[in-house]
Amino acid sequence: MKRIKTGFTLIELMIVVLIIALLASIAIPNILRARVNAHDAAAQAALKTISTALETYLSANNAYPSNTTSLLSATPPYLQVDYFTGTHNGFTFTVDSLSSQLYSITAAPASANLGSGSFTITTGSILTAN
């Protein structure tokens, strides 16, 4: 009686593992890049939201607020989220300058792998990458 072998040989299993490793080496960097791009887009959108709140405050009060808490404490609030405490989508937001005539807000990644760089929005909603 002849034995029938079933199953995979070691070589076949090694080829399958090699193919999976090759696919993973292509896919993982793309996934990480997409994550960084998503964090960047979220930070830019948050800066635009902050800028819109500041410009709306200016149109209602003829001057920008003296501090960011004025945007949160108004009724109704100009800003729904306090971006200036903690991190939001991997970025920290800081006020570079805020006076009755101008503002500058910067979003910087909390760590190097969360964003491609920092972004700044200034008076007139001018967004720049740093």
pTM for this prediction: 0.82
Dist. CA 75–CA 1, nearest whole Å: 89
At 27, list the tokens: 């896919």
Q: Report yes or no: 87 and 66 within 8 Å, Cβ to Cβ.
A: no
pLDDT tens for the chain, 130 residues long, are: 677 777 888 999 999 999 999 999 998 888 888 989 999 999 999 999 999 999 999 999 999 999 999 999 999 999 999 999 999 989 999 999 999 999 999 999 998 788 889 999 999 999 999 8
Would you mind telling me the total number of residues written for the chain in this entry? 130
CA-based R_g, the chain, Å: 25
Which backbone phi and psi does 58 adopt, to 5 degrees? -60, -45
